[in-house]
Amino acid sequence: MSETVSSIEKRRLLKGLGAVLGTAAASQMLGERAIQSAFAYTANKNSHLAKGKLFSQAQMMVLRGIVKQIIPTTDTVGAADVDCHGFIDHQLVATHGNYEKQAAVAIVDKVEQVSLQQYKLSFAKCSSAQQLQVLTAVEQAQMGFDHNDKANFKVVKNLTVFGYCTSKEGATQALKYSYVPGGYQGSVPYQQIGRAWSSKAYY
């Protein structure tokens, strides 16, 4: 994603990535424990300069570059600005199982490996265009990446969006608040709605 992307395009990105989280991922990320852990995290603009709880310092640098491309800085803050890389490191340890931890570490290492092969540079030192090329290759399962890598990358993307949307800056600057989400429509003919769903759990 280019660094010249507009705020409108960023909102579309957030909406699109939110849609691909899926029911299972959303329920895991939006559970009470996950929400409490997210809001308990204090952003640290220098988190990439030290070893994390899960990632090494070198991996934190790569992870910072990845989140910076997922939600870049425009006229509003980007994912790296709100320390989504530090958030991911925190959240994986606090609320996720071994699968997600291993998936995140694996894709960070693979991104670094491919960057070194393709450009003779660490991902963190690659240009924005080169970083974008590598991450696009992940999505397309090209340049040495496979579908397993794509699945692992989804874990990082989901956590990036979650971390961004639960940050103060992301929630107040990049997202638009709606008093009545979706708008209010009164007196809608029943024929347009059809039957409503019921769990029938209690009656």
Residue range 143-166: average pLDDT?
92
% of the chain surpassing 90 pLDDT: 52
In this prediction the pTM is 0.74
Distance CA 75, CA 9 (A): 12
- State the pLDDT confidence band at 187, using cuts at 50, 70 and 90: low
Domain boundaries, the chain: 7-174
Average pLDDT value for residue range 68-91:
93
pLDDT tens digits for range 34-61: 777 777 788 898 999 899 999 999 999 9
Residue type for 71, please? I
Length of the chain measured in residues? 203
